[in-house]
Amino acid sequence: MNGMNEDRHLPPETAAATTAAGSGKGVSTARNSVSSGPNGAMISVRDLRKKIDKEEILRGVDLDVAVGETLVIIGRSGGGKSVLLKNLIGLMRPERGEIWIAGQNIIGMSERQLGSVRQKVGILFQSGALFDSMTVEDNIAFPLIEAGMRSPNAIRARVNEVLEVVELEGENAKMPESLSGGMRKRVGLARAIIRRPSCVLYDEPTSGLDPVVSDNINRLIRRLQHRFGMTSIVVTHDMKSAIQVGDHIAYLHEGRIYFYGTPDELTRCRDPIIQDFLQGRSESTAR
Ligand SMILES: Nc1ncnc2c1ncn2[C@@H]1O[C@H](COP(=O)(O)OP(=O)(O)O)[C@@H](O)[C@H]1O
Ligand SMILES: [Mg+2]
């Protein structure tokens, strides 16, 4: 992976050991070889803290996502999952902490420097965030045009390439309002990958979709991983999706990663707070 072998950009090795397992109340299994390092982590987060209006939303998040893996982040609604993703691409700035993307700490970067990081990291927003007045093709092409690409033929070729990936060949001229929910998500995904990022962040990619369409999106996430070696973070509150797409699952609870492990480890976890979440119970029984 290019850009990952510059020593001065390496995340601190020591911090990995103090992640979920070291945060006191965490129930995570020990961090495995996925921890930070030049050949290990594509994304590393260290002690990330973010307040909004004096409320501490993120209270020291530690995370590692290995190259080519899919990490699912689960947690209660309003718990800060979207805020975490926005911090990862510099749309929000944290009070403190480190965010390493492909070997570079993005904290303190200028907008211009962040621009090149955003090329590496595509994001599918929760709402889909399509421009309603633009065709599918223009929506998808938007990041290329913003990046200065001008040749209509080259743009069209790239758009067709990603439309094929998301299985929407030939839908170039459609308007967003005429698309189903699942198709809108796929157009959003096509736009997220048009600049050929090495990572994709998905915010609730299956919310509002029926189980069959959700399954289709989940397979697409897996296909991108296998076909392009994409590193992904998928935020969801849908446990079925989490287990279907995640290599690892992290549970964000009270501003920290409370649990980190494989889907299997999560479903076998007997911790009452995890159990309440898995069973869809309110928090009261764990208190
Ligand atoms: N731009 C914002 N301005 C004010 N409060 C916000 C903003 N974004 C998020 N929040 C608050 O931060 C908390 C976490 O939100 P969010 O990250 O969207 O939760 P989740 O995605 O886990 O459901 C919520 O209390 C939310 O109201
Ligand atoms: Mg959210």
**Interval between CA 78 and ligand 1 midpoint (Å):** 6
pLDDT of amino acid 163: 96
Q: Is the CB of 279 under 6 A from ligand 1?
A: no
**CA distances for 233 relative to 174, 214, 250, 282, angstroms:** 29, 16, 10, 26
Residues 115-166 have pLDDT tens digits of 888 889 999 988 778 999 999 999 999 999 998 999 999 999 999 999 999 9
Average pLDDT along the chain? 85
Residues 173-191 have pLDDT tens digits of 999 999 988 899 999 999 9
Relative to the alpha carbon of 51, which ligand is closest? 1
pTM of the model: 0.84
What domains does the chain contain, in order, with CATH numbers? Answer: 7-48+65-129+197-286 (3.40.50.300)
Please provide residue 278's backbone torsions phi and psi, each rounded to the nearest 5 degrees: -65, -35
pLDDT of amino acid 197: 93
**Interval between CA 157 and ligand 1 midpoint (Å):** 38
Mutate to test the pocket of ligand 1, among 59, 72, 83 (most ligand atoms within 8 A of CB): 83
Residues 194-225 have pLDDT tens digits of 999 999 999 999 988 889 999 999 999 999 99
Angle at 63 between CA 57 and CA 67, to 5 degrees: 140
Residue 7 pLDDT greater than 80, yes or no:
no
What percentage of the chain exceeds 90 in pLDDT?
A: 69
Q: How far apart are CA 201 and CA 203, in angstroms?
A: 7
Q: Measuring from atom 4 of ligand 1, which residue has the nearest CA?
A: 52
pLDDT of amino acid 283: 59
Q: State mean pLDDT over 92-103.
A: 94
Residue 39 pLDDT greater than 80, yes or no:
no
Residues measured by CB to lie within 5 Å of ligand 2, the ion = 81-82
Beta bridge partners of 65: 43
Q: Which atom of ligand 1 approaches the CA of 75 most closely?
A: 22
